[in-house]
């Protein structure tokens, strides 16, 4: 596989070839996913929940994002690495936003992702003019969870659908190279995808998007806490982990591990 870049993703949209995205938070999984041919590794702030056990993404810090971005970069190979800008790292003022995005790029991200529509466009313009590729994120934006009143499907009314379409056009005009569409009616995501020239990446947004993203632990069947409708477990790694760990405990307790083969 050759190195994935922003242009590769745009070309995939033009050719109608779906873009594959999974989250990654560490070196080991980044290396595995990249070797299996994933296009994009998203160092998502969902890390706050799946790696740190927080209730939502809000406690994630820039320092944590930087550290996990570095780890993912080391294993990413040819995959394109996008890092989430955590809550309040880009909303306070444009200077701080550019500096913080730059920090993620310095530590291995090839692009940053941030949440929001028209109101965040001036910040996106500043980042793009500083040479920082930006991925947008519309629909269910988890950093605004308290404002949205919970993890709910967005864009169900005619008015909110219109706003999301306008937001998508505004993000494209501001210079985003791609947009994540989260938790919205499939028809709306399809309209947005057909309207804008940059690739859309869906999660809970139907199959007309230019690509799909899932949280890795959801994809592998490792998460047990929440199970939104859009999550599909493509494996049951939890069962394999359980089998291996129970076997290990048993063999240690019975002194059958380590045996001669695993001893010096
Ligand atoms: O943080 C994350 O993992 C995300 C994806 C769910 C799109 O933003």
Q: What is the 3-state secondary structure (H, E, C) of the chain?
A: CCCCCHHHHHHHHHHCCCEEEEECCCHHHHHHHHHCCCCEEEECCCHHHHCCCCCCCCCCCHHHHHHHHHHHHHHCCCCEEEEECCCCCCCCCHHHHHHHHHHHHHCCCCEEECCECHHHHHHHHHHHHCCCCEEEEEECCHHHHHHHCCCCCCCCCHHHHHHHHHHHHHHHHHCCCEEEEECCCHHHHHHHHHHCCCCEEEECCCCCCCEEEECHHHHHCCCCCCCCCCCCCCCCHHHHHHHHHHHHHHHHHCCCCCCHHHCC
Q: Which of 56, 84, 231 to mutate to test the pocket of ligand 1 (most atoms within 8 A of CB)?
A: 84
What band does 142 get if pLDDT is binned at 50, 70 and 90? very high
Q: Which of 142, 183, 202 to mutate to test the pocket of ligand 1 (most atoms within 8 A of CB)?
A: 142
Query: Is 182 considered catalytic here?
Result: yes
Q: Which residues line ligand 1 (CB under 6 A)?
A: 23, 42, 44-46, 84, 180, 182, 203, 213, 215
In ligand 1, the atom with minimum distance to the C-alpha of 42 is 3
Distance 15 CA to ligand 1 centre (A): 25
Among protein residues, the one with the nearest Cα to ligand 1's atom 4 is 44
Among protein residues, the one with the nearest Cα to ligand 1's atom 8 is 44
- Indicate the average pLDDT of the chain: 97
pTM for the model stands at 0.97
In ligand 1, the atom with minimum distance to the C-alpha of 23 is 3
What band does 257 get if pLDDT is binned at 50, 70 and 90? very high
Query: What is the pLDDT, as a whole number, of residue 223?
Result: 85
Which of the residues 182, 250, 251, 261 is marked catalytic?
Answer: 182
Query: What is the pLDDT, as a whole number, of residue 178?
Result: 98
Average pLDDT of the segment spanning 211-222: 97
Query: What is the pLDDT, as a whole number, of residue 224?
Result: 75
Segment 7-18, tens digit of pLDDT: 999 999 999 999
Average pLDDT of the segment spanning 240-256: 98
Does 225 score more than 80 pLDDT?
no
Segment 24-67, tens digit of pLDDT: 999 999 999 999 999 999 999 999 999 999 999 999 999 999 99
In ligand 1, the atom with minimum distance to the C-alpha of 180 is 7
Query: What is the pLDDT, as a whole number, of residue 227?
Result: 81
Segment 149-203, tens digit of pLDDT: 999 999 999 999 999 999 999 999 999 999 999 999 999 999 999 999 999 999 9
Distance 211 CA to ligand 1 centre (A): 14
More confident residue, 216 or 225: 216
Distance 23 CA to ligand 1 centre (A): 7
**CATH code at 6-233:** 3.20.20.60
Distance 46 CA to ligand 1 centre (A): 6
Average pLDDT of the segment spanning 204-215: 98
Query: What is the pLDDT, as a whole number, of residue 154?
Result: 97
Segment 73-130, tens digit of pLDDT: 999 999 999 999 999 999 999 999 999 999 999 999 999 999 999 999 999 999 999 9
């Amino acid at each position: 596989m050759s190195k994935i870049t922003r242009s590769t993703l745009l070309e995939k949209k033009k050719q109608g070839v779906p873009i594959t995205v999974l989250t990654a938070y560490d070196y080991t999984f980044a290396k595995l996913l990249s070797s299996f041919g994933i296009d994009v590794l998203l160092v998502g702030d969902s890390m706050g929940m799946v790696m740190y056990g927080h209730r939502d993404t809000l406690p994630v810090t820039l320092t944590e994002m930087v550290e996990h971005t570095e780890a993912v970069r080391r294993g990413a190979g040819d995959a394109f690495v996008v890092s989430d800008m955590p809550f309040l790292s880009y909303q306070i003022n444009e200077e701080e936003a550019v500096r913080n995005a730059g920090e993620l790029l310095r530590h291995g991200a090839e692009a940053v992702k941030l949440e929001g529509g028209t109101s965040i466009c001036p910040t996106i313009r500043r980042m793009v003019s500083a040479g920082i590729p930006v991925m947008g994120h519309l629909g269910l934006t988890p950093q605004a969870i308290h404002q949205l009143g919970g993890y709910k499907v967005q864009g169900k009314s005619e008015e909110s659908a219109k706003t999301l379409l306008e937001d998508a056009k505004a993000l494209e005009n501001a210079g985003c190279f791609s947009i994540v569409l989260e938790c919205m009616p499939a028809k709306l995501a399809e309209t947005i995808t057909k309207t804008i020239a940059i690739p859309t990446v869906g999660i809970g947004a139907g199959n007309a998007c230019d690509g799909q993203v899932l949280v890795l632990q959801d994809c592998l069947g490792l998460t047990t806490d929440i199970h939104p409708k859009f999550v599909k477990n493509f494996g049951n790694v939890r069962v394999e982990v359980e089998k291996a760990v129970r076997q290990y405990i048993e063999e240690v307790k019975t002194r059958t591990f380590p045996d001669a083969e695993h001893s010096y």
